[in-house]
Amino acid sequence: MIEAVIKGQGIKKCTKHRVKDLLKELDIPSETAIVIKEGEILTPDIYLQHGDTVEIIPVVSGG
């Protein structure tokens, strides 16, 4: 289980371990949020470990 802390939206538990799949599970299009673990920006191919916590920062802003 991965813990996803979505900025401004709370915490969600996810079953998928690859960043790309985790975003899909959360129904977040891949280029609308940045996934960070321990201060490091993760690319979609990265596999997370069971028990990891990631921060998800939405990037879409009002024009």
* Residues engaged in binding another protein (CB under 8 A): 7-8, 29-32, 34, 36, 41, 43-46, 57, 59-63
Query: Is 39 or 51 the residue whose CB approaches another protein more closely?
Result: 39
Least distance to another protein from the beta carbon of 49, Å? Answer: 17
* Closest distance of CB 12 from another protein, Å: 18
Q: Give the three-state DSSP class for 1.
A: coil
HEC assignment per residue over 11-23: EEEECCCEHHHHH
> Residue 54 phi/psi, 5° resolution?
-125, 155
